[in-house]
Structure 1
Amino acid sequence: MVVQMPNGAGHTPADEDRAALIEALTRIISEWSAPDFLTGVVAREGVELDPGAIKMVTMLSTQGPQRPSLLSRNMVTGPSNVSKIAQRLMAAGLAEKISDPDDARAHQFALTESGYQVASTFVRAGSGLVDDLLHGWSPTERDELLRSLQKLERSTMALAAQFQNKTSSGSSERNTTTRNITT
């Protein structure tokens, strides 16, 4: 992906650095979220699950039991897909349907003990992935990467919170911007 500047726009080294950063992050995110990459990483630990199941096990292990509607939103997929994935996990003994403690009429999906064991293999698989990716890096380079990524994560989370606040407030500024983009 090469980011093209509009005609007449000046190119500065800072513009090129930002474009290179966006390009690198886009490639990494695309690769890491690709179905073959996800399944390949966990398969190294002897776990064979489809990408949706990997994502659901990961979410349930890190965030705890969730209603299907929340899983649907967090997984960026439809409720019927969440139901199908949950059914496969339940059939494999990795997940179960439990009552929602806040609403007896509703249910949540939760991991079973076996599901948590599978989730722990994801951690081992991730550790192996990091070892492979950073093979040959010096301890200083690894530390620099970690510090930089943690700083980028904090900035990302802060900006995401600002976006969430603007979206949930329904500000007229956001509505004006939307109209300008769509007209």
Structure 2
Amino acid sequence: MPADVRAQIPSDIVEIERALSRISHLLNRARQHHQIAVEAGVSVDRAAVPILRLLHDAGPQRSGDIAARLAVEAPHVTRQVQRLESVGYVERVPDPADRRAYRVRLTTAGRDAVERVLGVGCQSIQHALSAWDPGEREQLATLFNRMVDDFVRVAVERGILPK
């Protein structure tokens, strides 16, 4: 971004972007994923975790819908689903709305794996924020969710994410 454009951006927005960039870097480091996977006792690719999380939160999905919701290419999802299927974390089931299509859903083992990964992740966050007052954590959660909702809204408006 040219310096003159950046100079017009409020300093709080610059600081928010900087913090988000740092968080993203910390959360997406291969070493961080490996440590969480080891602690959770789950062997899964870092790229598969968002798919498992989506299936955990939203239930069975078509592969194309997974790709659209995660804003990734369909072949990426196909590869990850094949890997997750080979380790028994997901299965393909007929789509009740269209028997020619299928949905991907978590197996019992997949649900257990996701819950263990999420549990370790939550413990890590709890440890990092242990000195924070519960009210501050609640406020942060509220503001994060509001921010994410606004980011999603803008991404939908821009055609980056489906409606």
Task: Note whether the superposition's TM-score is higher than 0.5.
Answer: yes
TM-superposed CA distance for 1:29, in Å, is: 2.0
Change (3 A) 1:130 1:162: closer
TM-superposed CA distance for 1:62, in Å, is: 0.8
Change (3 A) 1:152 1:90: closer
The residue identity in structure 2 corresponding to 1:28 is: I
Matched with 1:39 is 34
Q: Which has the larger radius of gyration?
A: 1
Moved more, 69-78 or 45-54: 69-78
Matched with 1:6 is 4
1:134 paired to 2:129:
yes
Matched with 2:60 is 65
Change (3 A) 1:163 1:110: closer
Change (3 A) 1:98 1:47: same
Task: Name the SS of the counterpart of 1:44 in structure 2.
Answer: helix
TM-superposed CA distance for 1:122, in Å, is: 1.6
Count of equivalent residues: 159
1:54 paired to 2:52:
no
The separation in 2 between residues aligned to 1:55 and 1:25, in whole angstroms, is 18
Deviations 1:3-42 (A, max 9, x none): 98529x58xxx93333222211221123213343233223
The separation in 1 between residues aligned to 2:73 and 2:155, in whole angstroms, is 23
RMSD, aligned α-carbons: 2.7
1:160 paired to 2:152:
yes
1:15 pairs, out of 10, 20, 23, with: 10
TM-superposed CA distance for 1:163, in Å, is: 5.1
Deviations 1:66-104 (A, max 9, x none): 111111222333222212211111111111000011111
TM-superposed CA distance for 1:162, in Å, is: 5.2
Change (3 A) 1:58 1:5: same
Task: Name the SS of the counterpart of 2:102 in structure 1.
Answer: strand
The residue identity in structure 2 corresponding to 1:153 is: N
TM-score under structure 2 length normalisation: 0.81
The residue identity in structure 2 corresponding to 1:81 is: H
Moved more, 104-113 or 66-75: 66-75
Task: Name the SS of the counterpart of 2:100 in structure 1.
Answer: strand
